[in-house]
Structure 1
Amino acid sequence: MRSSNHLIGVVNFFTFLLSIPILGGGIWLSGRANNTDCLKFLQWPLIVIGAAIMVVSLAGFAGACYRNTFLMRFYQFVMFLVIAALLGFIIFAYSVTDKGSGRPVMNRAYLDYYLQDYSGWLEERVADQSYWAKISSCIRDSKVCARTRRGVNGVAETADMFYNRRLSPVESGCCKPPTECGYTYVNETLWTAGGGLVGTNPDCTSWNNDQQQLCYSCNSCKAGVLASLKKSWRKVSVINIVVLIILVIFYVAGCAAYRNNKRIDNHEAYGETRMTKEQPSRIHI
């Protein structure tokens, strides 16, 4: 019985430790939202799941230490729901970020981003005007474009230096005009029309050298946000998959130990049935 309780306690302790990377992933996404992604509602399911695992693990640990049946049953029931929720979140994260990526540009190290490359629930939510007004305002307030400016001895970097930079999706989509528009580089966030605009991309006329506007109303900016979200969510999802597998193993081990405790409480030896063959009575002559 003691070994079973010890096993349950150890399982719950490691489950508690597993909640830390899940909670940390949600907090990291929250930091990304404040800096670049600006879709702050997306990290909350992960934070809630991580916090729930942490609380439930403590309940299971206490139940193992004090042999509290109610806490152990509560742990088993809620942990099953948490595992199902984490699995659902992983599936959801992959399903809404399964499409879209940046397009390579000739003689450029960075990629260009196009909204038509993305589709689905997340694309519709980002492209919605009411949501985009909040997202673009958040990106503007984060000063992400201002941070792209670099200088060498007080002089702005040259066009060739800028073209060889690996910009983030938000920097590429929101802080400069699309390459196909044919704008001439002045500095990182200042471009002039040169040689006439190329193509029919509506972003070509949406670009504005006003530092409060830039390409924040461009579809390329929306695509950059989607690409940034995809990159962030995929990183967190890889960690969550590993945690989910370990969590299921620990949960099964904890349930097995709990059942073993119940078997011992019922005075039932492991591997034997509770029915025994009736011995024939002796016949006395």
Structure 2
Amino acid sequence: MPTRTITPPPSDGPRIFACSVIAGGAGKTQGVVNLAVEAALRGHKVAVADFDPQRTASHILGYQDPPDDQPTIFSVLQGKHRLEEAVVPARYRIGEGEQDDAFRHIPRLELVLGTTEMADAEVNLGLDPAGVLWLQNVLDEQMPKERWDIMFFDCGPTLGILLLSIAMVGPEVIACVADEFKYIIGLQDLEETLDKGFRKFRRFGFKTEVQHILATNIPLTADGEVRRSGGAVTDDAIRAIRSNPDWEPKLLPIVRRKQRFKDTIVRQRPLRYLDPRNEALGDIALVADQLGIARLNSTRKR
């Protein structure tokens, strides 16, 4: 197998993280949303791009459905709109209804709107001989200069051409796993897919691999250890990661199991605004620290 070298992102562009998993329920979207909020609160200009047809990230960040005639990531994919036209301010619910006054904007955080139409992305990209390059072309040609410091991509639960097109732009891939062994299999499948992409597209600059592993929804003891009484399967899954010499260095701080994560979807409020004293926010902060998302010395204007 050819040796791969991970190249850091260019200094004049945003740092990009792509969160991916093949099996649902791994906390991928919660990881994206909460890390994005954490980064924004640390003073960074942040964007979340919602590639998942379930569009849960868009929902939590204030948009159950795209407003009428509002461009989305799918219309950008189709070439009907530019990237900047699909960007809206991220927000959280403070009242009833869908009017603007029912929401409050989250400082320094923006959203590239998702849509259920992304379920058709695989077909659309598959019909285009250069489909795997669509996102790279969009970012090269349409990325607003200095608009964002960090971008988080919420990928759909597929391992097809859409994922490879996202991987083509060279993000730091965060593989998400949860409290079942099926996610370990999913991690293996994700690595295999990216490896195939490297072999097939390396002449086009494809060099992406899994660089981080985020374990969420894990029962922890008070001192942060996996609580085996919460499920031997959970313990076995984490042990499988820690016993793998390739995976163990990539494992980020574990995010503990909390019921309130589910409430964020119903309430359309990220955890920071729903339950600001929740212990899991400390876990998210540790993840951000390990990813090198600094706390900026001077807070940017809101």
Which TM-score band applies after superposition, normalised by the shorter structure? under 0.3
| TM-score, length-scaled by structure 1 | 0.21
* Structure number having the greater helix percentage: 1
Q: TM-score, normalised by structure 2?
A: 0.20
Q: Higher strand share goes to which structure?
A: 2
